[in-house]
A = this chain, B = another copy of it.
Amino acid sequence: MTGADSQTQRGARGRRDWSTWPHYDAAAAGFRGYWYPVAWSNHVTGKPMGVTLCGDKIALVRDQGTAYALHDRCPHRGVPLSLGRREFPGTLSCPYHGWTYDLKDGDLVAAITDGPQSPICGKARVATYPVAERLGMVWVYVPIADEDPHPIDEQLPEELVENPFVMGGRMDDRAGNWRFACENGYDEGHAKYLHRTSLWRLFKAMPTWNVTRIVPQGRWIYRKQEEQFWEADFPGLGRWTNKRWWKLSPLAAKDGGAPSNIGNTGAAAKVDPVIAAQEFPGFASVSMPGVLRIAYPNFIHYEFYVPVDADRHLYVGVMVNFLRGPATLKFYAKYLGWIRWLFHGQFSGQDAWMVDVTDAPPEQLYRPDVSLTAWRGLAEKEFKAKLAAIRKEDD
């Protein structure tokens, strides 16, 4: 052991690895058994594209309006089907020898260069993946075994299933494990320190620290701030504050530092008060398989952390406003005008930076990390139950 290592561990206290959450620990390439958004709907066209999800290579292609997902490997010689093209309706052909697969079930329906009576037909197939489209995105279900997927609407944030809304969003392929991204998103502490220099935060006050409680409700856990401390005197060091003279008074912030003056479109009266004020017991909530929801007074911001493989993830950030009619135009103008750049861009870029350099375990947690351990506990419990249910089905 080197001197540096031995000295570092001298200060170790409590758990430093993830053995408390074995399934979470094993889910480096994501939790199978869930739906994930993988591409904007209008990017999935008749020309196939390749994506990676939970380590699986997947070919996406659209045929007569419907999106399909196939395992991106022709069993003949291992060539990616996403390099191929559609020779006949409802099929996709491998670029190499024209092996042609039915998009619905993956069966080999023709081997063009072996003629219509090719004996290989009916003896080869590629795996297909369930596909759905929601929020203007193509979602793919990655199975654990060969189970049928649960309905995607059971997994979406509830308020997005039946309510009309307008939205703006951003997808970024990013370095770093999806769990670091999700933990970063739900993490209480970093917002107050890491993001203190972001432009998005320039005109908003935030506490230096607070006392937080985690409240479970249904598939979600909520972060509820019980006490807030705007400034702090650190003995022997000095005073530290997140307040700036030009920022709004902290009293103007109603919910855990949530900005009250963002998204206020004048049409705010149309926000469903049930959604905005009553149902959510807290400002920030998270659910499986890695979905963050930040309930601002006039809109909701979501982040989906999509596992590409153990080293990369797809960041999907979405702003949703439950508006109707002409007010939606204002939302789009505001989103494209500056929310997209300040929030989904520079602010979120600070997160991407940290997610890329986070390196745990080992780790040493502190009080605000109750949000991390609660999330890990939620993930562990839900996935364990899911596995048990699938095994029962098989019996």
The answer to whether A32 and B3 touch (CB under 8 A), given A358-B78, A368-B113, is yes
- DSSP class of A's interface residues: helix, strand, loop or mixed? loop
Partner of A8, one of B126, B238, B359, B364: B126
**Cβ of A11 under 8 Å from chain B:** yes
**Cβ of A387 under 8 Å from chain B:** no
**Which of the candidate stretches A90-98, A153-161, A333-341 sits at the interface with the other chain?**
A90-98
Residues in B neighbouring A247, C-beta threshold 8 A? none
**Cβ of A260 under 8 Å from chain B:** no
Q: CA of A120 to CA of B354 in the docked complex: distance in angstroms?
A: 21
User: How would residues 173 to 208 of chain A score, 1 for a CB under 8 Å from any chain B CB and 0 otherwise?
Assistant: 000000000000001111011100000000000001
Q: CA of A98 to CA of B241 in the docked complex: distance in angstroms?
A: 12
Q: CA of A363 to CA of B94 in the docked complex: distance in angstroms?
A: 14
Say how far A127's CB is from chain B's closest CB, in angstroms: 4
**Cβ of A332 under 8 Å from chain B:** no
Say how far A72's CB is from chain B's closest CB, in angstroms: 9
**Which of the candidate stretches A228-236, A289-297, A316-324 sits at the interface with the other chain?**
A228-236
A contact residues, range: 35 or more
**Cβ of A218 under 8 Å from chain B:** no
**Cβ of A125 under 8 Å from chain B:** yes
Partner of A357, one of B83, B110, B112, B116: B83
The answer to whether A78 and B359 touch (CB under 8 A), given A100-B237, A116-B234, is yes
The answer to whether A127 and B8 touch (CB under 8 A), given A193-B97, A360-B78, is yes
Contact residues, A55-104 vs B (CB, 8 A): 55-56, 71, 73, 75-80, 83, 87-88, 91, 93, 95-100
Q: CA of A357 to CA of B71 in the docked complex: distance in angstroms?
A: 15
**Cβ of A392 under 8 Å from chain B:** no
Residues in B neighbouring A71, C-beta threshold 8 A? 4, 7-8
Q: CA of A6 to CA of B98 in the docked complex: distance in angstroms?
A: 24
Task: List the B residue with the shortest CB-CB distance to A147.
Answer: B3
Q: Which residues of A contact B (CB under 8 A)?
A: 2-8, 10-13, 32, 54-56, 71, 73, 75-80, 83, 87-88, 91, 93, 95-100, 106, 108-116, 118-120, 123-129, 142-147, 187-190, 192-194, 208-209, 229, 232-238, 240, 354, 357-360, 362-368
28 contacts between A and B (CB under 8 A): A4-B127, A7-B106, A8-B127, A11-B108, A11-B123, A13-B123, A75-B362, A76-B365, A76-B366, A77-B358, A78-B360, A79-B357, A87-B240, A95-B354, A96-B354, A98-B193, A110-B234, A113-B188, A113-B193, A113-B208, A113-B209, A115-B229, A116-B232, A116-B233, A116-B234, A116-B235, A118-B366, A120-B364
